[in-house]
Structure 1
Amino acid sequence: MDHSEEIRSWQRVVYYILGVIEVLLAFRLIFKLLGANPVSGFVSAIYSLTNLLMSPFLGIFRTASARGVETQAVLEPATLVAMIVYAVIAWGIAKLIEIMKRPKKV
């Protein structure tokens, strides 16, 4: 494996982890918007997995809610902020890997 391939491999790992985080947060956003039943096993699992990821961002903006006949839809802007911040962090880590693994010029 040449040097540039090794860099790309590590960057793919970072972006894969970002992808998993983004998908979990996207599920959370959609479930909250559609008023999914939080007692449902799958919805509860997604909320449990994303609570830790969300903790630094909760309280930045107010959440808005709309009460329907059977459900309550919630717009949680903190989820969008978290998705953006995690994407920027992953991009920064990928660039840092590129810088640190770059061959030294003699």
Structure 2
Amino acid sequence: MENRTRRTEIRQTKKESHLGQTVASLLFGTVELLLLFRLVFKLLGANKENPIVQGVYQITQYIVGLFEGIFSEISMFGIGNTAVFEPAAAIAMVAVAFVAWGVLKLLKPRQGQRYEKTLYEDPK
């Protein structure tokens, strides 16, 4: 009787596409970063007349506006400026993070993958 050695090699031939996850991550990451800038600008009492500060406030106002009025703002007066803690911006950051998590879970690549199986037999 002959002894045969069998080897099986299985390799994945279809690559997963993460394009949707990448685009969604960039979009939500940018929104989170802008909300963080808004929160820091308010906490440090940034000059509202500065074009960069104005731009960040205008871009993020729609999202933060959804959460305004839940908690009142806390103002701290300093020399020449007023620092404000805006809870609506912090709540908006948490809400956007939850939405991003849900969207990224939905965009997870499908499990339908193709495998190639090769069977080797070595006669002895």
Q: Same-fold call, TM > 0.5? A: yes
State the SS of the aligned residue for 1:69.
Answer: coil
Partner deviation per Cα, 1:58-97 (whole Å, 9 max, x = no partner): 1111110011120000001111111111011011011112
Match of 1:40? 50
Determine the structure 1 residue equivalent to 2:64.
Answer: 54
Q: Indicate the structure whose relative CO is greater, using CA pairs within 8 Å and at least 6 residues apart.
A: 2
Structure 2, unaligned runs of 5 or more:
1-12, 113-124
Tell me which of 64, 67, 70 is aligned to 2:80: 70
Length-normalised TM-score, structure 1: 0.86
Residue 29 (structure 1) aligns with: 39
Q: Which has the higher helix share?
A: 1
Task: State the aligned residue count.
Answer: 101
TM-score, scaled relative to structure 2 = 0.74
State the 1:102 CA deviation: 4.2
In structure 1, what is the Cα distance between the partners aligned to 2:14 and 2:23? 17
State the distance in 2 between where 1:89 and 1:22 align. 11
Q: Which amino acid in the other structure matches residue 106 of structure 2?
A: L
Deviation readout 1:10-33 (Å, 9 max, x if unpaired): 111111111100110011001000
| Identity score, percent | 39
Q: Give the deviation of 1:2 after TM superposition.
A: 3.7
* Bigger Rg, which one: 2
Q: Which residue of 2 aligns with 1:97?
A: 107
Which of the pair is proportionally richer in strand? 2
Q: What is the letter of the counterpart of residue 72 of structure 1? A: T
When residues 69 and 9 of structure 1 are mapped into structure 2, their CA distance, relative to the original with a 3 A threshold, is same
Over the residues paired in the alignment, what is the CA RMSD in angstroms? 1.9
CA contact (8 A) 2:65 2:88 kept: no
Q: Which runs of 4+ in 1 moved over 4 A?
A: none
